[in-house]
Structure formats: C-alpha cells, structure tokens
Amino acid sequence: MKFFVDTAEIDAIAELNDLGMVDGVTTNPSLIKKSGRDIIEVTKEICALVDGPVSAEVTAIDAKTMIAEGRKLLEIADNITVKVPLTWDGLQACKALTDDGHKVNVTLCFSANQALLAAKAGATFISPFIGRLDDINLDGMELIEDIRTIYDNYGFDTEILAASIRSANHVLDCARLGADVITAPPAVIKALVNHPLTDKGLAAFLADIKAADIKIL
C-alpha cells in the first residue's frame, strides 16, 4: 500500500520522505492556508521534494473553470495530479483532463455509486473520506470494501486513495481491505510505530544494559 502525506508543511514531508515513507502528497487550499504561503509557490516546492504524485486542488465549482485551473496547476511540475470534487462538473473536468493524459484525483467521495462514476470518467484516484463517514455514524470501511469489490469486478484502473484517515486502525483496516493508497497527516503516519509492548520491552532492555554496564562505543 502506498502512503501519501496529507499536508502542505515542507519540513514534515521532508522528514518522512527521507525515511522512504512518502509515495505522494495530497494538498488542498485549507492545508496551504494553514502553511501561510502562496499556493503555487508551496506546491512547486513539494513537487520538487517528492518523486510521486502531488494532488493540487482546483477552487472553482464549474467544469469549464475547473479545467482551466487544472491546466494551470499542471504547469507547476510533471508530477502534479489535479484534484477535483465529486460533482457532475467535477466529473466533466476529470474526463477532459484524463483524456488529455493527465492524472486526476476525484475527492469528497462518500458512496460506492460516486466511486463508480469517477472510475467511468477515468479518474486516476478516488478519495473516499473514511473519518467523515464515521463522524455521522456510518462505517467508512464498508465504503472501502464496496469500492474494492466494484473496481475488481470490472477491472477499473482507478486507485482507491483512502482519505480522512485519523488513526492507526484506519490504516490497518484499509490495508486489509485492499485500498491502494492512504493519505494521512504526518502525525498519524508516525504514530504507526507506537506500541505499548515495544515501549515496555525497550525500557526493560535499557535497564538490563545499565545494570550490566554494557557499552559498545
């Protein structure tokens, strides 16, 4: 499973990238606003830092302007993936951009039917929002499972990019169900290393080392 980092913070991306934990990056205007920087400038810097796809989101809601904005974003770097919302206009923009050979991430997916439409429109990635479904007492993982089944039934190439990832359990469940990609904040990705038994074992190991006065250097 590929790991995308959901942030516009350059230092956080660089830290994970140096460890080989970054297969791509997802951004949106809200994340870039938090960074306090110009959208084009920060997106260009991210694209230069990572080799994988960098999702940059349009701000328009009509298809014509989405397409124009998408083409403008594509000028930033070769690894740009244009991010569009899962609306009828968004699907029109997706079809136009993918027909031109560009990658498109269709975001804000909350149903399997929406995911089916996005695949038919040629989406490179579909982004189902797990955490937001959980927030309204629906099971986000059921959506991942349904999309996986549908895409496998018909051989769609669209990759499932699980979004709104909030916990280590979300990551584990997505991996079990066969999501192609997860995108998560740096803190969630780094938290995957944590386990209380690891901490307990390390504490015991360090105590033994100290008691035996063992030194390597």
pLDDT digits (tens, 9 = 90+) for 146-188: 999 999 999 999 999 999 999 999 999 999 999 999 999 999 9
**Nearest in space to 156 (alpha carbons), one of 120, 187, 190:** 120
The verdict on whether 83 is a catalytic residue reads yes
Does position 34 have pLDDT exceeding 90, yes or no?
no
CA 85 to chain centroid, in Å, comes to 14
Q: Report how far residue 190's alpha carbon sits from residue 168's, in angstroms, rounded to the nearest whole number.
A: 9
Longest dimension (CA), the chain: 71
Q: Report how far residue 22's alpha carbon sits from residue 5's, in angstroms, rounded to the nearest whole number.
A: 7
Q: Report how far residue 159's alpha carbon sits from residue 2's, in angstroms, rounded to the nearest whole number.
A: 10
Does position 33 have pLDDT exceeding 80, yes or no?
no
Domain segments of the chain: what residues?
A: 2-212
**Nearest in space to 122 (alpha carbons), one of 159, 92, 94:** 94
Which of 2, 33, 34, 83 is an active site residue? 83
pLDDT digits (tens, 9 = 90+) for 83-123: 999 999 999 999 999 999 999 999 999 999 999 999 999 99
pTM above 0.75, yes or no: yes
**In CATH, which of 3.40.50.920, 3.20.20.70, 3.20.20.150, 3.40.50.300 is domain 2-212?**
3.20.20.70
